[in-house]
Each structure stands twice: as structure tokens, then as C-alpha cells.
Chains A and B, each alone.
Chain A
């Protein structure tokens, strides 16, 4: 009789999961599972709520990417009520999302992922963490903490709340930006851009080169990708069409409201988290040798599906990345690299928007009235394509909700990457905490 190795809880991720690795009598891996243990039931308890309240209810799905839920929900509410927000409202929504992206990327790279690379994957757990980073590189750590907070404070000073915002509304936003606010935020956004450039250069010089072998081995799988692009194929966080790419790089583009034709969700008895899959590709199969229907989201997926980045510095980074790793790039740990390319785009976008004269327009909300409708609102959350699908009755109350959130898309892929890493590292019953941490690194790359 073999044994089961449990990694519980999975740490330095933003959620609750347990990994179970089953070994045969010889001590080799026969099966792995990532059990997601949390379930809250937003799809049910949003029923009956007024649609205009939804953006400030569903943001609570995630305290790390509340802006993504807030904005996807606002877009779904816009669509239910059949209204188009004024251009300045859209620009303010995009600005808030870009700043939130910057804080999010800094958090993941430096606080959650970096300990594995800077302190080392096999180091003792008591130092392999952000406190260890602070001790190892106090000056950089102070700058990281300061810059991450600066993004949060920009959101808070302008929009009242950095976490669980209330700013975006059905039909627009709650307040305009004054010229004074714009003048205060612009230099702060420029500082974030400088720090973003520092971060990607730091990683390219000091981190990634040392871990090329790990990048080429840990968690590697070849599956499809999903992300949002504009009509001319540029990566966009806020709006566009969905692009679903097969592992070979061919793809289908489709509008948000066709998502049910392309995406199905499978339920396994051993996880509360569902398994979205590309249903036109066949029945979901998570086996390592011939996966079917599995696609990934989040930064690596986005930069794979996009023809180009939307901003010049990020585009230069993408070109360098593609020259080294091709398109689509499949190595799982490249998520860390892709995350920093997106960090640059987000910071550049924030600066661009703050230089746009229209951002201070006072025309920020279209008139809305309660009515029956269905609205599908999508944005790219940091962790992937976020889909909010609402139906309202004549009084504008919610009668039906479907949600597919960023990390859920990656459920099948995360299970596969863990399976791959466990089989790669655990042989003949031999394992230690360093090996188990490398298995977890396959999860952390996805920033679930």
C-alpha cells in the first residue's frame, strides 16, 4: 500500500487549498489533486439584490482584485440596463484598474513569489518569506512597501476606498476627477512607472537568469490560453473581445456574450472549485500526455493571445520575451516574467490616462432606470478573464447570476502543473520540504 503526502495549507497563495500526492508501493507518484476548500455561494445570495448595488457587493469576492470584480460587475449592470457610460467614466474606470494592477503585481512578485527565487526554493521555511526578503535586501524592500502602498493610497485618496471600492456605478462613476486631483496623481503614477521599469530590469538581470533550469522544468504543460484583446489585437485589461488560443497558437475570437458557446464548467467531487474548459475542443481531460479542453488565463495567457502590448515600453519587453521564448510560451514559471511585462503596461496606461484632457470631464454618468435585461460584463482580472453574467427583472432586481472568476479558469491547469512537478521531483519515495516547496512553486506561478 502506498501513501499520500499532504501539503496543507498551500502557502503564499491568496486562498485555501490542499495538495494530496498519492504514491505507489515503490514511492512513485500515481496521482495528485489540488483540493480547493472554500465556497461562498455568491451566485445564490446575489439573487434579489438591486442590480445597481451589485458592483459594491461582488467586489468582496476578492480582496486582492476587488477592482476587477467591481468593474466587471459595473459593465454587466450597464449591459442589463442597456446603457453606455460616458467616455470620461470609462477612462476613470480604466485608470483605477491600471493603478490597482500595479499594486497587485508588486505584491505578488515581491511578497509571494520572490522568496522562492531570492532566498531559494530549498531554504528553510522560516526565512523563505517576505521577512527574509526584508532582511536580505532592506533598501529594495522599503521601496517595494512604499510603492505598493502608494498605488493603494492613490486609489483611496481619489476613490475613497482602495479595497472593496464603491466608485464605479451602473452607467458610469460616482464622481469626476478635478484638475487638482489629476495634477497630484500624475507624478505619483510616474513614480510607479519608474519602479515598474526598475522591477522588470531587476528580475531580468538578477532573478530569471539564475532559474532558467527551473523555468524549463517546474510545472511545464502545453495547453491553451484565454485573454482579452482589442480589435487590432492589443492586450487590454478593461475591454475588447475574447481570444481562445489552442496550444499550437491558432485561435478563435468571440464577443463576451458568446462565452457560453465556448466555455463549459465541469465539477469534480473532490474540489469546491469548478473546472472551466474549452468545450469545443472536447470533453475535459487533465492527463499530462493528452490534455483536452484545458486552457490557462492570467498574465502568461494574455501575453500569449495578444498580438502586441498596448503601450511602447511593454511592447519592447514583449518583443524581447518572444525572441527568447516564442509564442505561445508554455513554461509555467514564465508567468512571473509575463506579470512584470503587464506591470509595465499597467503603469504606462495610468500615466497615459492621467495625461488625457478628457479624464477631468464632468460628464461621468449616463441616466439609468430599472429594467429587465441580461448583461455580461468581462474584464481581465489580474488572475484572468473575469465573467459576470446577470439577469434582471422589470424592477432591476437580480434573478440569475453566473460568475467565472480569473483563477477558476486555471483550475485544471494548476492540477496538471502540480501533477507534473510532483512526478518530476518525487521518486522512490524520497521527498523533503524543499521538494514539496518546488511542487508548490508550480501553483504559485499562477498566483491563484
Chain B
């Protein structure tokens, strides 16, 4: 018997869903075991009946609920709670659902400042009041991860999550398991670069130049990115971005990690730990430009990013 699955996307970009499709032929083998009873991306099941005549939001009963995207407005809250009520196991898919993701960078500002920019200070926009209509859901006070609103059973992190882990988690559930998690390892634990535990010192370099490497050779002949004097979030980021095999995917592109898989364990303080990691190779964290935003790029929910008080005028 196939297992009923509900899938929803909230404040999302669709990257998680595309990553599911990138499972490729493995997906075709999984599909007969999954019965998608609600998935707006692919199936025309509607919230209020197929002709919209219902009065309550109807999500079908299912064993598994997969939700991507964070919570940014009242409708997201409403849909998320409705899904939670109808599913046994709720999966937060991706970094927005897990810990805020990129959209939670907006948490560095008050909502009214964001709206003011978008609707009144963009060069081509004719200055207007914020949209206000019963069909335009109002923003929640901040951009939240799912577990700030409902209980989450499984988090598949990543921006996007690697297709290997999506298939792995679903397979585990089909086998009757109720929990799934990636092992608590850092990106550095899976990164083959050469490490000597020291850098050349000096201010942390911006990405204005490329890393030093020989393109004809693998990563095992490239020096660690932090030790080259650039900023890489590998030391404090959960491993797994390249799936079951392969090297960290941003490093594969010869670019630094920015932490899209989130903290290595719940309750970690990546910013504090990262400052320690930089110091340990002889780099001064105070020389990192835009430090707060770059170190919390994918984890701005859970209170990591909040509006700063206005600076006193000099």
C-alpha cells in the first residue's frame, strides 16, 4: 500500500522541490510507494474544495507531511497548522523551514522598514501604500522556522537539501522508522583540502579574487580556504551538502561554504564557534566584512537575526 503524503511550500523559492526532482530515476522507483494527496506544485488539489465552495481549509489525512519554506505571513501559519493536524510525521524540508534560510535575513529590519523600501523606495516603483486586502495575508512579526510555530519531527537541512538525503529520509519512513537525521559532522570533516592549522594572517580577504588551486587536480591538492585567508563557514556547518558521496559542493565550485546546511547540532552558536575557528588559524574575525549577516546567512530565524537599535548620530 502506498503511503499518503502531503507536501506544501510556504515562504519558499521552489529550490527544495526542484531538488526532489533531481533525485532523478530514483524518484520514479520511489513514486509507486508514495501517494501525493496534496502537493500544489504538481497536483490540483485545492484548499476549499475543487470549486472553492468550502469554508474550511481542507488538507487530507496523511502519514507524512513535507513542508518547505519558512513562515512569513498569516496564511503560512494557517496552512502549516492545518498540515500538522493531518499528518503523523512532519518533515521540515530545507533551510528556510529548518532555521530561516535566506528570507530570514529580513529579520535584521523591522517589517515596516522592509515594506517602506519595497513599495516606496524602489527606483521604478510609483510610491504607494503597502498592499492591504483580505486576500493579501499580513506578515508575521518575523520570518520564522517551522518549529517556532508547530512541532517538527524531522529536519532535512540544506539550501537546497541534497536529493540523496530526501530519498534516504523517505525510504527510512517507508521502512517504518519515525526519525531521521544527518550525522553531526562538520563540512570540514568531509572536505579533502590540505590543512596546516595556520594562515598567512592579515585581514580576511574578500571574494574579489579567486582561490588558489590547480584546476587539473582535485581538491586534495588545494589549501584550506580559511587558511588561504578567505572566509569559509565549513568549520561550523553540518556536513552532507554533496549527498552520500562527493565533496562539499561550494568547495567543488572552488568557492567557500556559507553555511547553507545550518548548525552542526541544535543549540549550537555558529557565530561564536566560527570566530573561534578563524582565530585558531591566525585570522582576526573583526576584519571580516559584514560579519553578522554573513555568519548568520541561512539561520536568521530562531532569534539569530533581529533589528539592531539605531546607531547614535555622530
Contacts and interface: CB of A to CB of B under 8 A. Distances in A.
27 contacts: A6-B48, A7-B52, A8-B48, A9-B46, A12-B44, A35-B136, A40-B11, A45-B108, A56-B258, A57-B105, A64-B18, A107-B21, A111-B42, A130-B42, A142-B25, A161-B253, A164-B159, A166-B250, A166-B255, A175-B254, A264-B124, A264-B125, A265-B125, A267-B129, A271-B133, A274-B125, A369-B208
Nearest to A4: B52
A166 B126 CA distance: 33
B44 A128 contact: yes
B131 A265 contact: no
B215 A272 contact: no
Contacts of B56: none
Interface string A156-189: 1001111111110111101110100000000000
A145 B253 CA distance: 25
A148 interface: yes
A18 interface: yes
Contacts of A153: 22, 24
Contacts of A164: 15, 159-160, 260
Nearest to A284: B126
Interface in B108-130: 108-109, 113-115, 117-119, 122-126, 128-129
B294 interface: yes
A386 to B, nearest CB: 14
Interface of B: 9, 11-19, 21-25, 27-28, 31, 36, 40-48, 50-52, 72-73, 75, 101-103, 105-106, 108-109, 113-115, 117-119, 122-126, 128-129, 131-133, 135-137, 139, 159-160, 206-211, 213, 215-216, 249-255, 258, 260, 289-290, 293-294, 297
Interface string A230-274: 000000000000000000000000000001100111111111101
A175 B131 contact: no
B262 to A, nearest CB: 14
Nearest to A36: B136
A207 interface: no
A389 B123 contact: yes
B51 A44 contact: no
A8 B13 contact: no
Contact of B41 (A14, A33, A172, A267): A14
B207 A269 contact: no
A389 B44 CA distance: 37
Contacts of A396: 206, 208
Chain B CB within 10 Å, residue with most, of A60, A111, A146, A402: A60
Given A39-B139, A176-B215, A271 B13 contact: no
Contact of B123 (A12, A38, A402, A433): A402
Interface string A1-40: 0000111111110111010100000000000010101111
Contacts of A270: 131, 133, 135-136
Given A45-B108, A50-B290, A12 B42 contact: yes
A400 B122 CA distance: 8
A259 to B, nearest CB: 8
Contacts of B213: 175
A129 B131 CA distance: 33
A176 B252 CA distance: 12
A44 B133 contact: no
Q: Which 6 residue pairs across A and B have the least CB separation, nearest first?
A: A63-B15, A160-B253, A149-B24, A267-B128, A160-B252, A125-B44
A8 B44 CA distance: 10
Contacts of A11: 40-46
B103 A63 contact: no
Nearest to B73: A37
Contacts of A171: 208
B125 A49 contact: no
Contacts of A355: none
B51 A431 contact: yes
A402 B122 CA distance: 6
Interface of A: 5-12, 14-16, 18, 20, 33, 35, 37-41, 43-45, 47-50, 52-53, 56-57, 60-64, 66, 107, 111-112, 125-126, 128-131, 134, 141-142, 145-146, 148-149, 152-153, 156, 159-167, 169-172, 174-176, 178, 259-260, 263-272, 274, 276, 362, 364-365, 367-370, 389, 395-397, 400, 402-404, 431-433, 436-437, 440
Given A165-B253, A174-B255, A268-B131, A45 B114 contact: yes
Contact of A38 (B11, B249, B293): B11
A267 B40 contact: no
Nearest to A432: B51
Given A5-B51, A370-B208, A37 B137 contact: yes
A165 B252 CA distance: 11
Contacts of B44: 11-12, 125, 128-129, 437, 440
A367 B52 CA distance: 57
A136 to B, nearest CB: 14
Nearest to B68: A63
Contacts of B253: 159-161, 165-167, 174-175
Nearest to A52: B207
Given A50-B289, A174-B211, A63 B160 contact: yes
B305 to A, nearest CB: 9
